[in-house]
Structure 1
Amino acid sequence: MQSIIFDDILEPRRKDLSNYYWVSRKIDTTVAFKQPIRPTPESHKEDVINHIRIQELLEAISIEKRIPKEFLESQVRVILDEIGYNKNLRVIRGLALILIKICLKVCKGIYVNNDSILHTKVLMGSNPIIFVPSHRSYADFILMSFSCFTYDVEIPAIAAGMDFHEMWAMGSILRDTGAFFMRRSYNNDYLYWSTFKQYINQLVTKGELPIEFYIEGTRSRSNKSLMPKYGLLNMILKPLFLRQVPDIIFVPINISYERIMEEKLFSFELLGVPKPKESTSALFKSLSIIKERYGSIHLNFGKPISSKEFFGDNLDKTNHNIGPIHQQELSDLDKKIIPSLAHEIVHCQQKLSILNIINLIAIIVNHNLTNSKELLTYAELKDKVLWLKGVLEEFGANVWCTHIDEEMEEAFEVHKNKIFVNDGKVDVVRENIDLTNLNVTKLKAHKLSEEVMIYSVPLVMLYIYINPVLHYLIDSAIIVAVLKVKSSTTLDVLKSSFIYMRNILLYEFVTSSSNIEKEFEKALIQSTAISLIKKSDHNTYNLGHNKDMQDILISVIQPFFYSYNEIIRILETCSSCDEKTILTEAQKKIEAEMRRQFIHPYSLNLDTFSNCLSALTYFSALKKARGVNGWYYEVDQGKLLEIKCNIEPYMWNLFEGKTLNLFLKHKL
């Protein structure tokens, strides 16, 4: 942590006599990719319409469907007006001023890795620059633009969903600050699809702005990495493979929040309550956030990745030599190697994450509530947090903690809606939850009872802050879980069991399957170093004497194993089933079981169910297809049985002797 230097970009604004003078200063911005003639938002649109690719397409459609070409051109203009970004410096300055006022009120600081962003600025000018931040909140858009504004970097052209476009007034404001809009589905609209791809090509090859997009595709409700999406990445990289640009530089960025603005909304969504539709009125209602405190925010800019260097010899220069460049598409070989870059970007985002004390408190409090007979005192919590901080730093985590007493006090103030100290004991806040006006037809799965929601939401919210830590712990947790099941075992058996379980959890804890063996070797060394495991004289491995950390590791992965096991039990009773039925039945069964024994409520979360279905599809136990009412799955019972037999021993060993904690029992 000491090697990373962060500057609080709010600090100078606190000292300003007037922030107006700063936001209205003369700005000499650094552009990403210098062009002979500086393009404008309108010139980009004209270049797209006049591009030979689009003109040939319009000609072909005109002949085939007997539609005047002029009419089709007008349709392309409508599409481009829907997609295209704009830049209005007055709007940008005005929003910057408003943002400063809000952030000074609700944030302790906005910390930026100064050296990295300055290094990125040095690289700008000769190649397209692509900013790839993690996506945990709607605030990501604003914070990225504010950081660029602060460091005199051109505000990026930002890929945004159509949800924002349809918000009254806000759509045009976002467009004026650089947002361009993309539909989540194209419904076989080939004209739209071709126009959008050409627009991206235009921004990459002829644009001066950096491009910003979210490789996970959507906000992560769970606050941990999602499997990367390849569609927009393919479009951005296409000019490199076609040799239209010398290189494309990707800058992975992690945005870490001490408190996430949407934390409660995410908790409800994970439990199946649909998110409200984005609207301007809802945005104004959300301005009540200025009454809350959100602590620190870290924007950690990573080392830029040269895609040319990354692909190296795999960047086949002879692959696109035949035929006009505008008629060429990515080859199968190109598409095969692009996912490796996507996973590398996600991996970099994970390593760049900054953990706050609340992340450590969440793990300790969650473990105490679900495994102990007595609540922790504040002093006991502090000792355990310091101990866990040391362990996590051994695992390579960046823990933001300058003075533990101040950080603890800050965490309890910022998160007083979740945790509190009563008579010297640490507990979670529970609120009444009114579901009477809930539209049952829009539920994603089973309608959980109000008592179960009251019981579950606080612990699900805690898990939102536990999840960012699990990237550092999951490999050692699996090793400990394997040794709990198999006891004393050889290195080969331990390794093969680890690889199998790590692949099962591939979508839950995102990594590239090609890196799993390396992760095992690293985790083996780390786990031995802190006595989680030990190597005997007989060249076998056993559990070590660090039982406290073993217990925590098992505790944090239990909900995932339980969810996966429940999904498998449902699937083994049918030959095919639609997704909503699977999710509904899983929640229904877990809710019933929670009344009889301790089952962590995070086991109810729909993200884990979906990740399990993806993993089973990856293992060919399921075949996924789109039906009339959404996705459905055909089950290969033989392969499903094999996976069940491999997972079930973990259920028996990891849940043995678990009973409903006394502090939680009366809530059900």
Structure 2
Amino acid sequence: MNMCSSSRCYQDFLAPRREELSNFMWASRQINPQIAYKQPTRPSPQYHKDQVLKSPKIQELLSELSQRQNVSKDVLEAQIKNILDEIGYNKKLKVIRWIGLVLVKICNKVCSGIYINEDAIVQLKSRMGNCPVIFVPSHRSYADFILMSLMCFTEDLAIPAIAAGMDFHGMWGMGTMLRDTGAFFMRRSYNDDSLYWTTFKQYIYQIVTKGELPVEFFVEGTRSRSNKSLAPKYGLILMILKAFFLSQVPDILFVPINISYDRILEEKLFAFELLGIPKPKETTSGFFKSLSIVKEKYGAIYFDIAKPISAKEFFGPVLDRSVHNLRPLHQQEITEEEKKLVPKLAHEIVYRQQKHCVITTFNLLAIVLHNNLIKGKDLLNVEEIIEEIVWLKGIVEALGGFVCIDNVQKNVLDALEVHQNIVTLTSDGKVTLVSNEIVLDKANITKLKGHELSEKTITLSVPFMMLQIYINPVLHYFVDVAVLVLILKNHERAALDELFGHYRFLRALLSQEFITFNAREKMEFDAALDRGINLKLIATDEELYKLGENKKLEETVSNCIDCFIFTYSVVCSVLLQNASRVIAETTILARVQAEVETMISEEKGFIHPYSLSLDTISNCLSILASQKVLTRSRNKNSIFYEIDAAQVLSVRSRLEQYGGPRQVLEGRVDSIQLHLKNKL
């Protein structure tokens, strides 16, 4: 089955599997996959470990540690072998085939299709073979790396060596199975363990320079619980680039991939985690319990493979690799100048992931329902929802997004069925949120990461958190025009320079929330202004800018970012209440949640439950620290902030220009809370 529009075309790679009498022949077929980087002889997983151990880098470290610690070199070498056994991937084709067979059975049961832009696969294959290839998918679910391997197996691409966290390593049976399909394991922290740290870096260097497989890692570092892009991490990408900076490979191709889900496997778990209720530990028994998903529907999954980024082309003449010719190769490290080049590449990868996001019917349905609920208006029936989605689809496409809708009525009915755990039809055919009373067990309460929210608050919040998870992927298309609307709502008219000044402040403040990179700032501002004018959100009056006539869209985009501005204002207020001392991050998180919960319980107006999100509060603290408003420090496993009261007050004062907490409260009608109670 194909799904095409004027701009993109996808094929369902599950479709041929559904037509087969048995998938066994497909899983056991002879395969000759396209490898990433041709080597003189095919390296085995054990070969890589042996080469790391023999490398001058490791041998020199062994001699140094042996002398310094007065420990036999053989003892240290045994430790490195153990570390390599912990890290190293394996490759067993028989295991890969059986897992491929099982995955196809499960996916056929729960998915309506897994779609991929096949043209991009053809183009990618034509560029593979001459240099290392790095797959960099977005990370929204544990299913990402499993589905990536299934996609590669189906498309005859070599299954990559995949960077996986140690939480999987300890799962009985699962760790071994994942290793046998190409996973290599990395610790989250190294605690100044130079032996582990150097061994791991050398292992990455080995599989990049001498490996034939693609390497796969998540540049965001962890799953995004909010379903928004996270700020990229630089550690692993630096290790990978070392081979290029040291001229040991001719080039490196980074392949950004966006994986979009109709329904995310962990959606309810994420809603709880955002409220501070921690995820359960990964266990094998937990994994088998999760297989109960086969009783539910998860809709479609979309793989959109972006144009690969060549490191050679990206860095171009800026890079001077001759500096590495002065000393022996194994003594070379990445220079400070080279490190400064990496953030731009990391952000470009995230940027391309975002631009290749597939917006689904439910993403738009979530926005429509969200707008209706927080405005306190009458609920919409299916026909009215469809009308709103058609309108919203045109808006998202005008803002540069891709919406995958081919038959809007069927797609809406399918979305309502897939997401019946979040949305439901009332007895009179209106669409609203599902609300179930939530009771926490004592084990969960003792592990809370924030304030101990009441069960009443959690019951109200969870449906909104789950709904917001599906709104969030659309927000990077809305945020720039929404910021301009927010400014002009509170500053009636503004000259271009004044408007850009306000925009810079707000986008910098929200840069962890909605990932942006300073180098793109002016370009994104200009594009947002043009789009705002074209959509009649913004009008010009002589050389001044003001709000346009499109009040419906103005309200929609404002509703999408109001809760973030509100939360940031509350964070500043809480910080000012504690401005005289250094305070633990966990304390701030709890106090902000407590403050928001109090406002919700006062029922003086609608406070969006997403303002309780620890993700948003943490993003605010992180950006304030990067702007030197807070001074961040770490003591053992805890993070602390020293508060500069004058600077926090300045940020809060500026935020109040755009509608701080009190203005948000006053701007909402008192009937909204009652409306929600009745509907939920």
Please classify the TM superposition score into its range, dividing by the shorter chain length.
over 0.9
Deviations 1:499-556 (A, max 9, x none): 11000000000011221111000000000001001001x2111100100010011111
> Which residue pairs with 2:80 in the alignment?
76
**Code of the aligned partner of 1:605:** S
> Which residue pairs with 1:582 in the alignment?
588
Q: How is 1:127-166 mapped onto 2 (pairs within 5 angstroms)?
A: 127-166=131-170
Q: How is 1:118-133 mapped onto 2 (pairs within 5 angstroms)?
A: 118-133=122-137
Shift of 1:437: 3.0
Counterpart Cα distance in 1 of 2:235 and 2:465: 31
In structure 1, the residue corresponding to 2:473 is in which secondary structure? helix
**Code of the aligned partner of 1:191:** L
Deviations 1:473-513 (A, max 9, x none): 00000000000111111111111101110000000000112
Shift of 1:663: 2.1
Determine if contact 1:451/1:667 at 8 Å carries over to the other structure.
Answer: no
Shift of 1:153: 0.7
Determine if contact 1:157/1:211 at 8 Å carries over to the other structure.
Answer: yes
Shift of 1:667: 8.4
Shift of 1:2: 2.5
Shift of 1:151: 1.1
> Which residue pairs with 1:441 in the alignment?
446
> Which residue pairs with 2:651 in the alignment?
643
Shift of 1:645: 1.1
Change (3 A) 1:89 1:374: same
> Which residue pairs with 1:612 in the alignment?
620
> Which residue pairs with 1:223 in the alignment?
227
Q: 2:403 aligns with which of 399, 402, 407?
A: 399
**Code of the aligned partner of 1:241:** F
Q: How is 1:489-500 mapped onto 2 (pairs within 5 angstroms)?
A: 489-500=494-505
Determine if contact 2:277/2:444 at 8 Å carries over to the other structure.
Answer: no
Counterpart Cα distance in 1 of 2:189 and 2:651: 33
Shift of 1:427: 0.6
In structure 2, the residue corresponding to 1:110 is in which secondary structure? strand
Query: Do residues 482 (structure 1) and 479 (structure 2) align?
Result: no
In structure 1, the residue corresponding to 2:658 is in which secondary structure? helix
Shift of 1:665: 4.1
> Which residue pairs with 1:60 in the alignment?
64
Determine if contact 1:554/1:654 at 8 Å carries over to the other structure.
Answer: no
**Code of the aligned partner of 2:656:** E
**Code of the aligned partner of 1:650:** Y
In structure 2, the residue corresponding to 1:270 is in which secondary structure? helix
Query: Do residues 242 (structure 1) and 255 (structure 2) align?
Result: no
Q: 1:453 aligns with which of 432, 447, 458?
A: 458
In structure 2, the residue corresponding to 1:227 is in which secondary structure? coil
Counterpart Cα distance in 1 of 2:26 and 2:444: 47
Counterpart Cα distance in 1 of 2:20 and 2:264: 27
Query: Do residues 469 (structure 1) and 481 (structure 2) align?
Result: no
In structure 2, the residue corresponding to 1:568 is in which secondary structure? helix
Determine if contact 1:272/1:606 at 8 Å carries over to the other structure.
Answer: yes
Q: 1:525 aligns with which of 522, 526, 530?
A: 530
Query: Do residues 624 (structure 1) and 632 (structure 2) align?
Result: yes
Q: 1:426 aligns with which of 427, 431, 437?
A: 431
Shift of 1:558: 1.1
334-343 vs 365-374, which moves further: 365-374
> Which residue pairs with 1:259 in the alignment?
263
**Code of the aligned partner of 2:626:** Y
Query: Do residues 664 (structure 1) and 676 (structure 2) align?
Result: yes
Shift of 1:317: 2.2
Q: Percent identity over the alignment? A: 52
> Which residue pairs with 2:601 in the alignment?
595
Determine if contact 2:606/2:665 at 8 Å carries over to the other structure.
Answer: no
In structure 1, the residue corresponding to 2:207 is in which secondary structure? helix
> Which residue pairs with 2:362 in the alignment?
358
Counterpart Cα distance in 1 of 2:467 and 2:229: 17
Shift of 1:101: 0.6
Shift of 1:632: 0.5
642-651 vs 472-481, which moves further: 642-651
Q: CA RMSD in A?
A: 1.1
Structure 2 unaligned spans of 5+? none
TM-score (norm 1): 0.99
In structure 2, the residue corresponding to 1:572 is in which secondary structure? helix
Deviations 1:7-63 (A, max 9, x none): 100000000111000000000111100000110000000000000110011011111
Deviations 1:617-663 (A, max 9, x none): 12110010002451000011121121111101222555542135132
Counterpart Cα distance in 1 of 2:425 and 2:649: 47
Determine if contact 2:277/2:445 at 8 Å carries over to the other structure.
Answer: no
Counterpart Cα distance in 1 of 2:312 and 2:377: 57
Determine if contact 1:31/1:154 at 8 Å carries over to the other structure.
Answer: yes
> Which residue pairs with 1:349 in the alignment?
353
Query: Do residues 382 (structure 1) and 386 (structure 2) align?
Result: yes
Q: 2:102 aligns with which of 98, 107, 119?
A: 98
In structure 2, the residue corresponding to 1:261 is in which secondary structure? coil
Counterpart Cα distance in 2 of 1:319 and 1:221: 42
> Which residue pairs with 1:277 in the alignment?
281
Shift of 1:666: 5.4
Counterpart Cα distance in 1 of 2:29 and 2:260: 29
Counterpart Cα distance in 1 of 2:374 and 2:544: 32
> Which residue pairs with 1:339 in the alignment?
343
Counterpart Cα distance in 1 of 2:6 and 2:110: 26
Determine if contact 1:256/1:299 at 8 Å carries over to the other structure.
Answer: yes
Deviations 1:184-225 (A, max 9, x none): 000111000000000000010000000000000000000010
Counterpart Cα distance in 1 of 2:139 and 2:669: 37
**Code of the aligned partner of 1:664:** L
**Code of the aligned partner of 1:641:** L
Counterpart Cα distance in 1 of 2:628 and 2:287: 43
In structure 1, the residue corresponding to 2:634 is in which secondary structure? strand
Counterpart Cα distance in 2 of 1:363 and 1:496: 29
Q: 2:515 aligns with which of 507, 510, 517?
A: 510
Q: How many residues align?
A: 667
In structure 2, the residue corresponding to 1:454 is in which secondary structure? helix
Change (3 A) 1:633 1:183: same
Shift of 1:144: 0.5
654-663 vs 193-202, which moves further: 654-663
Counterpart Cα distance in 2 of 1:498 and 1:193: 41
**Code of the aligned partner of 1:475:** D
Determine if contact 2:566/2:664 at 8 Å carries over to the other structure.
Answer: no
Determine if contact 2:376/2:675 at 8 Å carries over to the other structure.
Answer: no
Q: How is 1:311-326 mapped onto 2 (pairs within 5 angstroms)?
A: 311-326=315-330
Counterpart Cα distance in 2 of 1:12 and 1:418: 32
Deviations 1:62-106 (A, max 9, x none): 111111111111110000000000000111000011001101110
Determine if contact 1:33/1:126 at 8 Å carries over to the other structure.
Answer: yes
Counterpart Cα distance in 2 of 1:37 and 1:627: 49
Counterpart Cα distance in 1 of 2:455 and 2:181: 42
Determine if contact 2:278/2:444 at 8 Å carries over to the other structure.
Answer: no
Counterpart Cα distance in 2 of 1:609 and 1:42: 45
**Code of the aligned partner of 1:90:** K
